[in-house]
A and B are shown apart, each in its own frame.
Chain A
């Protein structure tokens, strides 16, 4: 081959370019996605559920194999799809970029829609868990009473008996003032800027349960000179995907996408403090729904630290800083891992003096959103978390850190540690 025919002359088409098409009723035909699978099983070795639960046949089976074996008239999905916790670690493992989690989401959605008894306890329980926001909105209206009631062990036992929600876990407490109430009270944005603008996707948990994370985000970004908007929003959909409630998720997306799309048009980028929320907007939205503006929202969504590391010299801002902070056992959530964010907190903070931060390993925390709340999954969830608990106990100090609200519940539950968000530490250091 001469230089004149150097490889740049090739017109290579992307191999993974397939067009999803409505074919199985109103769901997508993902069979062509199986073309990329060369069966290496890296996904299976990355699956935290298959490691503790042999009822679950692993992501390769649930994804490309199950899809490939499908014919048009075959509607049946193996019921083990409900054991997938939607941690999406398989996506992160696959060297061949098979759309595993998308296949799982579609299959689960089909299963829940067509094969699950919608009057069953499991369905009702899953629907409740998936729609945490509805529960939270009610509960946070009278936070003290709700906290007292939900913290009542009798109520917890009833939840387990009637709904199959484990009594082992403490319900997260509702804050006495939600983030949005605080935001309104402070009069909204305190910094205005034409160039630097972010729209905050706080998600449900920062709003109802840990407004301190949202406040930290506001203070940090304002410190860096950003004008912040906090538009109307619904759940990001993560717990709904995990429970196959795709219709619920789409309804929420139909609120979120236009709200944020309008702001993007005004020069805003979308920032989330929860890595599952940013994951959902970035990846699952465009994979699963066709809503006008959804690609723009996907392309403009960032996790908070990710954004600052790209567009601000946050490393420089932290240089030589010393912060009076407890030693930290950091756990990277699976959904952070999928966005390539699993190392950022440790890399950013390990140069800051005054405390130590240690990564507690690459394992899954085991809670995976709503998975660990299900009575029948509780023990498996704790077994998955064992590695992380072990490493936490071996790490210095007794404070944990993570970006994900449900990982933090699991960390707290398994170790008794108080858990913080990296934004809170960043707030301490720079704001």
Chain B
């Protein structure tokens, strides 16, 4: 849009009040989002600095125990990180192939009618509150797992991973489908003219052309899985430990923050400060992933004309 600041001359006339005040009000509204980010960073940073006045940074990164709520206190983030990582890996094993498969089906195979039915259903799946998914993990998925693997704990990482994975399927599939949808039809038609099957077109033409968008959708979905809170709070338990066994109870960074805020930790104590240190870690990781995803989309975007 390239309009002049004043669409016509108002020389000699008073500018209407709306044109004087409104832009300033709107500018203030836009500033709120900047203030929000500044607020988040300041809040986390100030209390995290207070935390590191008591706990050495090195201990935070290397201690293998996380027991701030009882004696002897240990402040090693590794158990919470490994719990988060375990759930995220589990969720990606579920969500990435399934999400990509549905994106390919919707974009390359599905007839119009099927697409019109399936897409709204996926939208509903994306709109289910995480508390409902948590309930589903605890009361349906875990009992089913325990039929096949009786040693599984009531709270376990596997059930949480599967359900977090299901939660992010719609995100992977809709963002990937958008990426594939922007691959021009002429490229596909060229391949069809050479006698390629639909699968060959999808695999050898559409996927490579849409790769940056697909990878970005993966990164964004994983970032969402890292920040997810209620499913892991309800279904994965509250046992921070370094383990790769998904059948055990673990604790993620987000679930820990919820645990502390549900208890009666005194304001200003070192236990209270832990939520800011953990929150800061969570914020930095998800922020990095979001920046990476945006960078990939911009850097590797294929331009078709």
Chain A complexes with chain B: no
Which residues from chain B sit less than 8 Å from chain A, CB to CB?
A: none
Which residues from chain A sit less than 8 Å from chain B, CB to CB?
A: none
